[in-house]
Amino acid sequence: MHSPASICRSRIRTHPVSTLLARSPFGSGRRRAAGGVVAASLSAAAVLTGHAESASASTSAPVPTGTGMVLNAPIVDVASTPDGHGYWEGASDGGIFAFGGANFYGSTGSHQLNGPVVGLQSTPTGKGYWEVASDGGVFAFGDAQFHGSSGTIHLNRPIVGMQSTPDGGGYWTVASDGGVFAFGDAQYRGSATGMSPSSPIVGMASTADGLGYWEVAANGAVYAFGDARYAGGAPSGQSVVAITANGAGYRLTMADGGIDTFGDAPFYGSTGGQRLNKPVIGMSAISGGYVTVASDGGIFTFGNAGFYGSLGGSTVYSPPSAATGNLGDGVTDYQRAAWSKVNVCEEGGRWNVRGSIYSGGLGFSRANWNQFNTFGFPADAADATPEQQIQVAVAFAIRYWGNPNAAPDQNGCTGGY
């Protein structure tokens, strides 16, 4: 159980700063044009330190940014207050950073976790939040209640996200193979397990009454269960990172910040087509708007969602190590050796393998290569050098395992990433 009292009710505050239906390639409301960005990270000086921060901005003070700040771990998700007057950013080590009207209620930033945090959810009141880790552990803070977790059982694939029920009396967690775990008053309606063999599930969203939900894969395929209705999926080749619901519709968020809308979900703008410092990795919706967040903590707000600062411009701490031979922006000797073993296991030492689903020497799915290749390397992994493929693999490891030195078991390869 991942809900010890010392974690769930912590009030530590440091350094305050001011049913599967179909797969249609297109939806009725697909819009990816850029525009409507209220703000990204600004240049006002504000340094945030530590794992757990409160970064509230008043209208008369400069909004806080991450300029000059070094994070202990990358940002993995964002959660908005219900009124849109604030939001939290969550890091893979469990650190929470609060902006605007969002209050800090605690975090796992100072605790040793069995798996990295991968998702963040606000309670219906906005007076608390949940964090979920890749091993299925759930951590509750503020008025968020702990209803159970899969943190003590063996999972076939890691958890990639969570969704609370409308009343906050329960939640679902979802794994990368589509498996769904229901807790509290959340009801199990089915899962996409085995339905997306070529692309991992990356998120889920609940219907307004909580009697159904959608799952989305990185390649844009959407799966609907319970009273959720299928309204379309992203076109082939896109790298989807999140799904949020609105009425009977939903939105898909892409790594480039593009937003595709389906059903009656309104479009309020996106960063699609704009140059971003880092890829978008999460989204949170409110009534009449939404917020997206990049892996460096940059915040983009649209519609009724207000901008109250961000961690944009921050960097992630990477300690030098003689043992691993840190090579700066490249890969380390340790990473090179670990992924070279994966290459031998997966492809027998070949790096230019070209397949219809998996490609390159590490067996990248095309969706994952598109999502994590933010370095300008060739569009097909088979055309990239081994060093380039390993660098993308390290980015994958940071996102899914929270550790740049993580690599699969070289004695039992999974058959693609």
Q: Can you give the pLDDT of all 417 residues of the chain as single tens digits?
A: 333 322 232 222 222 222 222 222 223 233 333 222 222 222 222 223 222 333 333 345 678 888 878 888 889 999 999 999 999 999 988 999 999 999 999 998 778 888 889 999 999 999 999 999 988 999 999 999 999 999 888 888 889 999 999 999 999 999 989 999 999 999 999 999 989 877 889 999 999 999 999 999 988 999 999 999 999 999 876 789 999 999 889 999 998 899 999 999 999 999 988 888 888 999 999 999 999 999 889 999 999 999 999 998 888 765 544 333 333 457 887 888 888 888 877 777 789 888 777 889 888 887 788 878 877 788 889 899 988 899 999 888 877 777 788 887 654 455 455
Q: Where are the domains of the chain?
A: 5-316, 319-417
Q: Which CATH class is domain 319-417?
A: mainly alpha
Quick one: angle between helices 386-401 and 333-347, nearest 10?
100
Q: What is the pLDDT of residue 215?
A: 97
| Topology agreement, domain 5-316 and domain 319-417 | no
The fold of 5-316 is Methylamine Dehydrogenase; Chain H (2.130.10)
Of 116, 146, 151, the C-alpha closest to 130 is: 146
